[in-house]
Structure 1
Amino acid sequence: MAVIRRLSEFPCQRWNRFVMEHKEATCFHLSEWAEVSRSLYGWDPYYLYAEDNGTIQAVLPLVHVKHRFARQALVSTPFCVYGGVIAENSQMTQILENAATDIARELGVAYLEVRQSIRSNPQWTTADLYCTFKRKLLDDVDANFAAIPRKQRAMVRKGASAGLTVSFGHNQDLFYEIFAAGMRNLGTPVYPRQLFTILLHIFGENLEILLVEREGRPLATVLSFYFRDEVLPYYAAGLPGARTFAAFDFMYWQLMCHAVEKGARKFDFGRSVRGSGAFAFKKNWGFEPRALAYQYDLIDGGEVPTIDPHRPLYRGLTAAWRRMPLVFANAIGPLISPRLY
């Protein structure tokens, strides 16, 4: 008979071993993510696992997200695009999902949010605002380039012709300088610098920063996660000249080549909002969108807490944020960004 337990040790090798061996797992199921939320905002982790005869059969990472002036939630998982239960069978999935609902009610949160790729609970509300983009990487560089649509290959060549260069490392200061400016220019509050300090400390060599430069001047950057045979470019941004010289196109192609050399055979372009510019950009690379079934148990009877950039309110806020001086955006952004977990 399965017993449900709450993880108390972070990171936990036993938990991570189950994650690494499960075919549906992602890097966001690793137990280290509990420390990210706890170290940054003091949010309590509720990492649940089902155990049978001393063997883990299922895991569900959850974090109690607390805000002073907003609805509280139990989320799988903050700062992550994927989450939810990974289990040996559907019975174990149901057991942990029921346990999550019980904990959410005990905590008195407004809702339970599970960021999964498939709809697993018919009693929960499902939102399909986001899609993910994944594709296999081939061993041969030329074969990978040929797999890219013709117009997108032309953009990669444009970047190469502009004299762009790339480097790989862990230069957090330069990354954050570009990232903060890029977020302001997109109209989005930036995460605090401490988030990236924590990520680099916790994930170490499984995390890498790519920098694109032209004539010694930085143009774009991306922070990527490596998990098993996958690479996931996760936090990316560029300066105003990036699009002029096709820096993003060149950057992602160079990341693909570099990832293949490191042994990666899957490229996860991450999630994007349907109909957004990022959505179209990823489709231009030949990636097919796959809907993400984020599910919610709306305990307080309220609305699904999605931030839809297509709504007039958010378009207005985004436009106003773009006009804000960078020094103010960098000061205020980290105070607002906990709402953008």
Structure 2
Amino acid sequence: MTRQDCWDQFVETCEEATFFHRAGWRSVIESTTGHTPYYLYAEQNGQICGILPLVEVKSMLFGHSLVSTPFCVYGGVASISDAATTKLIDHAKTLAETLGVDYLELRHRQAKTAGWLTRHKHATFRRPLSNDEGNLQAMKRKQRAVIRQAINNEHTATIETDLDQFYHVYSTSVRNLGTPVFSRRFFQALQAAFKHDCEVVTIHHQGKPVSSLMSFYFRDEVLPYYGGGMPNSRSLKSMDFMYWDLMQRVTAKGFATFDFGRSKTDSGPYHYKRHWGFEPEPLCYEYHLVRATQLPDNSPNNPKYRYFIKLWQHLPLKLSQQLGPYLSKNLA
């Protein structure tokens, strides 16, 4: 068994581990962004008892950091013992200081590092699945009406292996939000790394793609992760149909948990997910400052990025697709 196989075997069984701890992220990030990974593990009696995936991110715009894990909602230490957790965090601090980064960032769901600086700007949204009627009843009444309207608008859902329609819809959506898109190669690498645990679904209306979604599967969970819609998807409620279609399909397959991902506290997506019957779970991102003197703020809500966001929203789509990957790889 290879070391990667041993790593992923541990991830499958460790309660603290998440989809974003899987070894495949190492190859995806390294091959498509050029960032340097440092995947640490602790062993006891020849068996892995703790892991900490780290990636060094160097950016002229956003600084020099060591993050677990960039582009991912969760990260940090996953272990089966306090001793392993302590050793991995101590090693990460030493590595951060050796590399001379500005800061070390661990994206934990719950705090693990006493005395570190923390940030609670995001919440994650997870809840158990029951059956179609139970899933509907868990939502607010207004959201149930929206889903019925979306169904009446006669959408169709198609599972795809080709990324053409997904990339067109997703890149259009994030351009309209003022966000640089990842490269097509990044999404191809995700498909190659996670195979049947990575699914792309495109929603059509009258034969035209209106929304599209890349989801991940992990143990008994589904994680709708990269999703977007065309401008008319809002009035058609296409993205509501997209998420409801996924929820129906995974419920029928016996999946137990729907992980709706993170959103910034009190933002539009934050309240949208609450309408679906999800309650926010604050995330605890923890920081060890090395060269930096204060916590980083690379959020799009930072006033200094407002002009850039407005400018990006008006770029031609093709140009945004060409320029986006050079910037998005640094938005860790």
TM range (shorter): over 0.9
| Paired letter, 1:334 | P
Partner residue of 1:306?
297
Deviation larger for 156-165 or 37-46 = 37-46
Please, what TM-score do these two structures have when normalized by structure 2? Answer: 0.96
Alignment of 1:90 with 2:82, yes or no, is yes
| Selected match of 1:61 from 46, 53, 70 | 53
Partner residue of 1:254?
245
For residue 69 of structure 1, report the CA deviation from its aligned partner.
Answer: 5.2
Q: How many residues align?
A: 332
For residue 63 of structure 1, report the CA deviation from its aligned partner.
Answer: 1.2
Distance 2:2 2:227 in 1: 28
| Paired letter, 2:305 | Y
| Paired letter, 1:114 | L
| Paired letter, 2:34 | G
Contact 1:10-1:32 within 8 A present in 2 as well? no
| Paired letter, 2:65 | A
Give secondary structure in 2 for the equivalent of 1:12: helix
Contact 2:57-2:330 within 8 A present in 1 as well? no
| Selected match of 2:145 from 146, 149, 154 | 154
Contact 1:10-1:34 within 8 A present in 2 as well? no
Alignment of 1:245 with 2:236, yes or no, is yes
Contact 1:50-1:56 within 8 A present in 2 as well? yes
Partner residue of 2:66?
74
Partner residue of 1:5?
none
| Paired letter, 2:233 | A
| Selected match of 1:221 from 206, 212, 215 | 212
Distance 1:202 1:150 in 2: 39
Contact 2:36-2:56 within 8 A present in 1 as well? yes
CA deviation profile, 1:170-209 (whole Å, cap 9, x unmatched): 2211100111111111110111111001011111110001
Contact 1:131-1:274 within 8 A present in 2 as well? yes
| Paired letter, 1:291 | P
CA deviation profile, 1:124-160 (whole Å, cap 9, x unmatched): 210111110000011x222222222211010001111
Alignment of 1:128 with 2:114, yes or no, is no
Contact 1:47-1:60 within 8 A present in 2 as well? yes
Give secondary structure in 2 for the equivalent of 1:281: helix
| Selected match of 2:157 from 166, 183, 206 | 166
Where structure 1 has 5 or more consecutive residues not aligned to the other structure, the ranges are 1-8
Alignment of 1:335 with 2:326, yes or no, is yes
Please, what TM-score do these two structures have when normalized by structure 1? Answer: 0.93
For residue 43 of structure 1, report the CA deviation from its aligned partner.
Answer: 2.0
Distance 2:41 2:101 in 1: 21
Give secondary structure in 2 for the equivalent of 1:58: strand
Alignment of 1:32 with 2:32, yes or no, is no
Partner residue of 1:46?
38
Contact 1:134-1:270 within 8 A present in 2 as well? yes
Where structure 2 has 5 or more consecutive residues not aligned to the other structure, the ranges are none
Partner residue of 1:6?
none
Contact 2:17-2:78 within 8 A present in 1 as well? yes
Deviation larger for 100-109 or 304-313 = 304-313
Distance 2:329 2:295 in 1: 18
| Paired letter, 1:28 | F
Contact 2:65-2:105 within 8 A present in 1 as well? yes
